[in-house]
Structures are given as structure tokens and as C-alpha cells.
């Protein structure tokens, strides 16, 4: 709304935001596009991104392509919304998802961020000040590319996740093989090297190897696994939706041994 709006009282600024939103919704009125997060339709999605991506942001709730894909996955492939109590950690909560999670999950839902004050607790994900096996579910999206020691953060997520829990840990995949250089600290140089001034690496398809090295079993779901071809267009998932990385904990070594000992021996011919 420009610098002038900053000088206005908060109630006035809030009213202006509502007016601006109403005008935008009216401009995009239609039913060619559908957002699975908020359940509302529009003529098309808005462009979004540092390099603007067409058909990216829902005009109603602000959900991006990855949020819409995530919502499909949560509804189709998980038990998150079955009504049973689950302790859920949401790192760097997105405004399009947080209110819906809170409504559906209630008091068991916890938001955390290192910098944003609107999160419930301040958290450094490389040093989580909580006991082992605290959470049933962890969701962290597009955060690890900002973290210098991402492997330590992955190990911390593994530690605070319950043995029968699961995590969805998403990053932008921008190249074939992960590229990082700790010597690049200047924001302008990081922008050139990693595509954003506050990123510390470009993740490649070997991202899944880092998750597995941290102790996770990983299953990958892509757009085609969750939506029909006509829904891909209607939900704006054709580009930049990425993939879902569903992580569960590998069984402890002692449990593996016990399982192997319980297996019947094969009959052998001598």
C-alpha cells in the first residue's frame, strides 16, 4: 500500500488491506482455477516470486503451488486430519496454512521460527530445546536452504520426532546436484550463486540422500501421483509445485536385530 499507509493507525491499515483484497478477488472472479487449501475458485491464480511465476498464488488465501500440492498430500496420504490428537510442529508457519492448521489441530499445533515474532516459540532448528520424541508430525518448508548446517537441523528433526511419527521437509530443488560454498557470505554473491540473497546452497536431487544420512526413510510424491491431468491445470500445479518428501524414522538397530531373530530360518538342502 506504499509508505504513506505506514503512517496510518493500524485499524485504518487493516481496513485498507480488506478493501484491497476485496478488489483483487473481484478482479479475479471466475471458476477456472480452484485452490484445495481454502476451497475457493478464481479466474486464474496471481503471479508471484522474485522472478514472477504465472499461476502461482491463490487470490483468496495466498497459497502457492507447493502449499496446494502439500494440502492434497495431507488429505490423500496422511492421517493428519483424522481428529485424533497429534503433537505437530510447524516451522516458519505460512500465513496461508497456519490458520487452517490451527482450526483443524487445536492446541496440539505449535509454530516456531528463529526470527518471526508471530510464531509461538523462537527456535533454532539446529539446536531444538525440546526432549527427544516430542512430536508426532513435523512440517518444515523452504527453510533448510537458509541454514548453514542443514544436516544438523535434519538430525534435530529426527531426534524430536516420535519413532512412529512422520515429517514433511521441503526445499526448492534447483539443480541436479546440490551446490554450496561456505565461503560465499556476501548477500549479492549469494544471490548470484544460489538464486536468493539469504540462501546458502542450491539443492539438487541428491537432497534425499542427506535426509537418509540423517536417519530418515524417505518417500517422494509428485504432482502426477496426487492429481489428474485436468486438476493439475485447475489447481495451478503444472510448474514449480516441486515434490513432497515424506520422512519416517528408520527402526533402531536393536529393533532390526530383534526382528531378524524372530524371522524363521530358511530350509536348506544339504
**CATH number reported for the structural domain that contains residue 88 in this entry:** 3.40.50.150
Residue 211 lies in a domain: yes
Q: Please state the pTM of the whole predicted model.
A: 0.85
- Which tens digits make up the pLDDT trace of 185-233? 999 999 999 999 999 999 999 999 999 999 999 999 999 999 999 999 9
In a domain? residue 158: yes
Residue-range definition of the domain harbouring residue 111: 64-251
Q: Calculate mean pLDDT across residues 88-107.
A: 96
> Rounded CA gap, 164 and 168, in Å?
14
Q: Is the predicted pLDDT of residue 254 greater than 50, yes or no?
A: no
210 SS3 class: helix
* Domain-located, residue 181: yes
Which of 182, 253, 242, 177 is CA-nearest to residue 210?
A: 177
44 assigned to some structural domain: no
**Domains of the chain: total:** 1
- Is 261 within a domain? no
Let me know if residue 9 belongs to a domain.
no
Lowest mean pLDDT of 34-38, 216-220, 241-245, 266-270, name the range: 266-270
pLDDT of residue 202: 97
- In this prediction, residue 182 carries a pLDDT of 95
Q: Where do the DSSP E strands lie in 67-213?
A: 88-91, 109-113, 121-122, 135-141, 161-170, 173-175, 179-180, 201-204
Phi-psi domain of 40 (left: phi exceeds 0; alpha: psi -120 through 50; beta: other): beta
The number of beta carbons lying within 10 Å of the beta carbon of residue 1 is 11
**Spatial distance between the Cα atoms of 99 and 109, rounded to a whole number of angstroms:** 10
Residue 27, in any domain of the structure: no
Query: 63: closest CA among 98, 102, 28?
Result: 98
Question: CA–CA separation, 172 vs 198, rounded Å?
Answer: 14
**In Å, what is the CA distance from 128 to each residue of 11, 89, 200?**
37, 11, 21
- pLDDT in the model for residue 51: 84
Cell numbers that stand for 126 in this block: 539446529
Within its chain, how far is the Cα of 203 from the centroid? 15
Q: Give the model's pLDDT for residue 24.
A: 76
Contact 207, 245 (CB under 8 A): yes
Residue-averaged pLDDT of the chain:
89
Residue 145 · residue 194 · CB < 8 Å? yes
Residue 76 lies in a domain: yes
Q: For 103-152, what is each residue's pLDDT tens digit?
A: 999 999 999 999 999 999 999 999 999 999 999 999 999 999 999 999 99
Q: The cell 512440517 sits on which residue?
A: 139
- Left (φ > 0), alpha (ψ -120 to 50) or beta: where does 116 sit? beta
Q: Is the dihedral of CA 214, 216, 221, 226 positive or negative?
A: negative
According to DSSP, the β-strands at 244-249 and 216-221 are antiparallel
**Among 248, 223, 175, which Cα is nearest to 36's?**
223
Amino acid at each position: 500500500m506504499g509508505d504513506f499507509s505506514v503512517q496510518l493507525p493500524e485499524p485504518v491499515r487493516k481496513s485498507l488491506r480488506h478493501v484491497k483484497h476485496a478488489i483483487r478477488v473481484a478482479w479475479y472472479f471466475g471458476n477456472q482455477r480452484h485452490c484445495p487449501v481454502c476451497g475457493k475458485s478464481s479466474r486464474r491464480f496471481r503471479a508471484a516470486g522474485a522472478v514472477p511465476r504465472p499461476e502461482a498464488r491463490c487470490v483468496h488465501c495466498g497459497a502457492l503451488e507447493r502449499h496446494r500440492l502439500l494440502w492434497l498430500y495431507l488429505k490423500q496420504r496422511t492421517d493428519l486430519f483424522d481428529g485424533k490428537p497429534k503433537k505437530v510442529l510447524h516451522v516458519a508457519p505460512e500465513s496461508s496454512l497456519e490458520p487452517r492448521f490451527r482450526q483443524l489441530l487445536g492446541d496440539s499445533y505449535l509454530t516456531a521460527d528463529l526470527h518471526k515474532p508471530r510464531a509461538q516459540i523462537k527456535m533454532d532448528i539446529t539446536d531444538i530445546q525440546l526432549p527427544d520424541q516430542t512430536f508426532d508430525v513435523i512440517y518444515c518448508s523452504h527453510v533448510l536452504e537458509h541454514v548453514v548446517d542443514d544436516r544438523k537441523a535434519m538430525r534435530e528433526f529426527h531426534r524430536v520426532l516420535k519413532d512412529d511419527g512422520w515429517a514433511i521437509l521441503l526445499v526448492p530443488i534447483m539443480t541436479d546436484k546440490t551446490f554450496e560454498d561456505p565461503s560465499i557470505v556476501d548477500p549479492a554473491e549469494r544471490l548470484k550463486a544460489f538464486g536468493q540473497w539469504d540462501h546458502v546452497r542450491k539443492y539438487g536431487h541428491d537432497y534425499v540422500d542427506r535426509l537418509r544420512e540423517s536417519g530418515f526413510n524417505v518417500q517422494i510424491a509428485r504432482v502426477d501421483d496426487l492429481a489428474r491431468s485436468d486438476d493439475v491445470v485447475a489447481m495451478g500445479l503444472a510448474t514449480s509445485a516441486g515434490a513432497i518428501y515424506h520422512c519416517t524414522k528408520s527402526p533402531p538397530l536393536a529393533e532390526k536385530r530383534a526382528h531378524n531373530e524372530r524371522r524363521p530360518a530358511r530350509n536348506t538342502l544339504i
